[in-house]
Amino acid sequence: MIPKEQSSILTQKVPKIKIPNNGLVGVTKSEPKKEIPTESTQLPQPTGWRILVLPFKMKEKTEGGVYVGQEIVERQQVASQCGNVLAMGSECYQDKKRYSSGPWCKIGDWVVFARYAGSRIEIEGGEVRLLNEDEVLATIQDPKSILHKY
């Protein structure tokens, strides 16, 4: 059993410590941290009926163990005729009369397009292409199944 003196101490409300809202003299408040852009926010966002595609990039080492030069890898990416759909504009495949069977592709699909189709946009590590929705020729499961010539 707790003596009366101690129980009254336990039930008393303890005043809260108030911390002044004043800053330190000579110290300025730092600005809020700006969000560091990620790769996905640095990519151009397609508008209208355009599709953002990342062209297929071959491996730097062949199955036989031969290393391919960086210039050849870059040349092959520029000449590539297939790529991965990264983003689509808000009006892609919305024309029901033209695309009665539905969209030809969706984000994440591997698509085939003409060699000189779309606009090339240089980014760090390669390039992306902005294609019109009707420049998609086909979808494929595996880009390695196509012979890539440069």
Q: For the segment 2-18, what is each residue's pLDDT rounded down to a tens digit? A: 565 555 555 666 666 66
Mean pLDDT (the chain, rounded): 78
50 burial (CB, 10 Å; 0-12 / 13-18 / 19+) is: buried
Confidence of residue 26 (pLDDT cuts 50, 70, 90): low
- CA gap 133, 100 in Å, rounded: 14
- CA gap 106, 116 in Å, rounded: 21
- CATH-assigned architecture of domain 47-143: Roll (2.30)
Can you tell me whether residue 46 is helix, strand or coil? coil
- CA gap 16, 11 in Å, rounded: 15
Strands 126-132 and 119-123: antiparallel
Q: For the segment 57-76, what is each residue's pLDDT rounded down to a tens digit? A: 777 777 788 887 877 777 76
Can you tell me whether residue 42 is helix, strand or coil? helix
> Residue 29: its pLDDT value, please?
60
Between residues 150 and 125, which one has the greater pLDDT? 125
Task: Report which listed range, 3-12, 14-23, 110-119, is most confident.
Answer: 110-119
pTM (two decimals): 0.64
pLDDT at 22 over 70: no
Which H helix or E strand runs over 130? Answer: strand 126-132
